[in-house]
Structure 1
């Protein structure tokens, strides 16, 4: 199965983001973007790709420990950016150090469970809101997102998410995500 760990924004944060994204759809170049939907909005912490079923029990144990060792932290959706000319994202503000630490712990848990992970890179908190099949000028969208400031929420759960890839050749088909398991972070204070 195809897996990753994530932080999932709560419904009020998703609603705020959906209002901001709606305003982007009329900007120059926005028509060439494939917008991700609300069900797919998440902050990926560690992407594992295809994972053999036999490794999942140990992975779950290790992720539970990683969650327990991490204190819940404040987070909010904020601003935006792009990766090259094909991916548009919204950023985060608040407990970014804690978020990076949780991402590192999730990555380490996967490695220790025997999952071959890509080369470890410094974590960049981002929630992808759109992708382009070809190079697109994303600057108008990034500029419009600069002032976006969501309400603070408590990041308090680590989720293991299963990614089901879209069926090729089916118009409008998108990846589907389902939470396979989740663990509470240590309560703050």
Structure 2
């Protein structure tokens, strides 16, 4: 199964962001982007890829330990950016340091559980809003997020999420995400 560790924003934060994204989707050329579904909005902490079921007990144990080592912390969805001409994202403000440490711990826990992890990169918290295959001018979408500042919320848990790929050959199909386990932060 295809798995990753994530922080899921609460519904109130998602609703605030959805209102701004609706405005972005009205911009010229927006229909040429592949917009992520609201149900899939999350902050990926560590991507594990294909994981054999035999590894799950150890992975659960390690992620539980990682969650308990980090306190609940306050963040807010804010601002935005792009990765080249491929991805539009919304950022996060607040206790980014604790969020980054949580990501590092989730990745380290996966390694200790026996998963092969790609080369470690500094964590850049973002929530992907849209993707573009052919390249496009994403600056208007980033500009539309510059002044976005959602309400603060408290990150209280680390989730293990399963990604179900979109149905092949179905136009507009999106991946589906399923939380398979979650652990509270702190002790």
| In the alignment, structure 1 residue 70 sits paired with structure 2 residue 53 | no
Determine the structure 2 residue equivalent to 1:44: 44
Q: Secondary structure at the match of 1:101?
A: helix
Report the Cα offset of residue 29 of structure 1.
2.5
Distance 1:28 1:140 in 2: 9
Question: Which deviates the most, 30-39 or 106-115?
Answer: 30-39
Tell me the CA shift for residue 21 of structure 1.
0.1
How high is the TM-score relative to the length of structure 1?
Answer: 0.97
Q: Cα distance, 1:109 vs. partner? A: 0.4
2:178 maps to what in 1? 178
Given that 1:88 and 1:130 are in contact with CA atoms closer than 8 Å, whether structure 2 keeps it comes out as: yes
1:165/1:176 contact within 8 Å kept: yes
CA RMSD, Structure 1 to Structure 2 (Å): 0.8
Other-structure match for 2:4: 4
- Cα deviation for residue 27 of structure 1 reads 1.5
Counterpart CA distance in 1 for 2:9 and 2:163 is: 17
Q: Name the CA distance, whole Å, in 1 between partners of 2:124 and 2:157.
A: 19
Question: Deviation of residue 154 (structure 1)?
Answer: 0.2
Deviations 1:11-32 (A, max 9, x none): 0000000000001012133121
The corresponding residue for 1:100 is 100
Report the TM-score when normalising by structure 2.
Answer: 0.98
Instruction: Give how far 1:168 is off.
Output: 1.4
Q: Which runs of 4 or more aligned residues in structure 1 lie more than 2 Å from their structure 2 counterparts after TM superposition? A: none
Q: Identify the residue that residue 32 of structure 1 maps to in structure 2.
A: 32
Unaligned runs of 5+ in 2: none
